[in-house]
Structure 1
Amino acid sequence: MSELRLILFDVDGTLVDSQGDIVASMTRAFEGEGLEAPTREATLSIVGLSLEVAIPQLAPGLDASAYDRMVAGYKAAYMELRAAQGSQKSSPLYPYARDVLDQLATIDHYLLGVATGKSRRGLDALLAGHGMTKMFLTQQVSDHHPSKPHPAMVLAALSETGVAPENAVMIGDTSFDMQMARAAGVRALGVGWGYHKPEDLEPHADAVIHDFRDLPGAIDRIWESER
């Protein structure tokens, strides 16, 4: 009988392309404080971090109350945009993502999970909108953990599933995902279609892929390399 394997996914930039709403929400958060909005590139560079960590990086030197208002403003704007369009338009799945997820879910010894900078409410809404509420056995969100790249999310997922670190892989589009995987002692697989440049992932990743259809083979190769 095969050992259980845990496949953890980041969400924004890995499973779904939510950059339009992310940039628009961050712009609204800054404008609410009378600040010039960051560039698209700057905003996408912090995707994956918890908002409480990301916003001070984009606007250093403000007081705590300003950051609290900006976090609240971002969340309100994001919810408004999602409600207006629905998750499938607001945060569409990347090409072939659903097909590959369905394929992986049929493999008995594979367990699927997520480790995301989204809130519990945000993740619940996204998964419901895509009909994937029951797809991920373990779901780690920003409400309960330090921001990436701290390994807490991955360690909690390992604990919940009983999977050993050597039998787990973290899949993500940012250097924060890769660094989190390394800190937790699991394998790291980068995807080149997200918000960080592939060359920023490569120093920390076991491999980087550029097409969702290549994911099952890349996972097999990562674990075969341990034999």
Structure 2
Amino acid sequence: MSDLRLVVFDVDGTLVDSQADILAAMQAAFDGGGLEMPSRDAVLGIVGLSLPEAMSQLVPGIKTAERRILVDGYKAAYMTLRADNGVAVSSPLYPHVRNVLDGLHAVPEVLLGVATGKSRRGLDKLLDGHDLRSLFVTQQVADNHPSKPHPGMLRSALSETGIEPHRAVMIGDTSYDMEMARAAGMLAIGVTWGYHDRARLREAHVLLDDIRMLPGLLQQIWEQTA
């Protein structure tokens, strides 16, 4: 049996804090659509979903054409903000993330991946902006899969790497990440520094308050599943 393990990360709210640009882009989208901007909590609550699904949740009953206007407006505003500010400002890495990722990547038995509601283009810009691309052997995006919490992203990550679900973990900050992990048969690690509070992370198998504790936590988990 292979000794390989797979660690899959969500992006927004887990690795990077992009809430300022998310909120600004959402405001621009709703202004452009002639609609009232939802509350900050409502907007951050849908981070991680694909944009069409996110807009449907923010505006229940919205028509397809109106939803498309919001989605396109959001994409355009987000791209403009990122171009104006640069990735490091628009989506800064949370403290200690880079060191932890580099440390995990250095372990031969550990494969890293991402599963995100971002588009391929959006993820490419972020990975290149932070020089992270080489760390992740599998990269799952919203373009190719149903929205979280559908497990399609994680099933593809497992298939691409040849890792069994019980030898993989999903790390994210939202209930969608936790539900997705459970549906894929993977262990769900919820992080508490992101956009969903502890109450919404009830589907997590484990909660993590400090990313610097992740390597030790993973070692404990793997010892139990060896």
State the TM-score bracket (shorter-chain normalisation).
over 0.9
CA RMSD in angstroms comes to 1.1
Structure 1 CA distance, aligned partners of 2:203 and 2:88?
A: 31
Instruction: State the partner residue of 2:176.
Output: 176
The residue identity in structure 2 corresponding to 1:135 is: L
Q: Report Cα offsets for 1:3-33 as digits up to 9, x if no partner.
A: 1100000000000000001111111111111
The residue identity in structure 1 corresponding to 2:18 is: S
Instruction: State the partner residue of 1:216.
Output: 215
The residue identity in structure 1 corresponding to 2:150 is: H
1:2 positional shift: 6.0
1:48 alignment partner, SS class? coil
Contact kept in structure 1, 2:48 and 2:174, CA below 8 Å: yes
Contact kept in structure 1, 2:167 and 2:225, CA below 8 Å: no
Instruction: State the partner residue of 1:72.
Output: 72
Instruction: State the partner residue of 2:128.
Output: 128
Structure 2 CA distance, aligned partners of 1:225 and 1:19?
A: 36
Instruction: State the partner residue of 1:226.
Output: 225
1:200 positional shift: 1.6
The residue identity in structure 1 corresponding to 2:107 is: I
1:83 positional shift: 0.4
Contact kept in structure 1, 2:13 and 2:193, CA below 8 Å: yes
1:224 positional shift: 2.4
1:103 positional shift: 0.3
Identical pairs, percent: 60
Q: Report Cα offsets for 1:86-117 as digits up to 9, x if no partner.
A: 10111000000000000000000000000000
Structure 1 CA distance, aligned partners of 2:217 and 2:32?
A: 44
1:62 positional shift: 2.2
Equivalences for residues 7-156 of structure 1 within 5 A: 7-156=7-156
Contact kept in structure 1, 2:49 and 2:117, CA below 8 Å: yes
Q: What's the TM-score, normalizing by structure 1?
A: 0.97
Comparing 210-219 with 41-50, which one deviates more in the overlay?
A: 210-219
Q: Report Cα offsets for 1:124-179 as digits up to 9, x if no partner.
A: 00000001121100000000000000000000000000001110000000010000
Instruction: State the partner residue of 1:185.
Output: 185
1:123 alignment partner, SS class? helix
The residue identity in structure 2 corresponding to 1:51 is: L
The residue identity in structure 2 corresponding to 1:4 is: L
Instruction: State the partner residue of 1:166.
Output: 166
1:134 alignment partner, SS class? helix
The residue identity in structure 2 corresponding to 1:60 is: P
Structure 1 CA distance, aligned partners of 2:30 and 2:221?
A: 42
Count residues with an aligned counterpart: 226
1:147 alignment partner, SS class? coil
Structure 2 CA distance, aligned partners of 1:145 and 1:100?
A: 28
